[in-house]
Amino acid sequence: MTVASLAAPRPVTMTPTPLNVPGQRGRTTIAERVVTKVAAQAVSEVEQTGGVARELIGITLGRQTGAGQARVSARIDGHLTMIELRLALDYPAPVRTLAREVRRHVIEQVTRLTGLEVRHVDIEVARLLRGR
């Protein structure tokens, strides 16, 4: 009976290939719908916020329960983005304080996840919801 010796595997060394200068690597484009989804998720992460029912020519479609996500639109211009939010808040809630917190969190999350600079966030508090 022969015993074979097992040698430890030798580590493979790889030399990293240098990257081209940034202008030659290509371009990354982030769609407005991506910013919209990131912002909507960020709003839902703030306590006492909710979505609003859709409207068609001023007529509310569905019930105003606060379920779902806030209505969000975003525009991107180069590395800048502008965001508009339409949402509901629980009643009673300090509206200005909560809007400030929503704005801060949306800016933080959009910047962190997309790398875009958020120029401004417009917020419309469309409803105050009781007893959610």
pTM of the predicted model, to two decimals? 0.74
* 8 within domain boundaries: no
* 109 within domain boundaries: yes
Number of domains in the chain: 1
* 72 within domain boundaries: yes
* 64 within domain boundaries: yes
Enclosing domain of residue 84: 28-130
Q: Tell me, what CATH number does 126's domain have?
A: 3.30.70.1350
* 79 within domain boundaries: yes
Interval 40-84: pLDDT, tens: 999 999 999 988 755 545 544 445 444 568 899 999 999 999 999
Q: Concatenated DSSP letters for 49-82?
A: EE---EEETTEEES-----SPPEEEEEEETTEEE
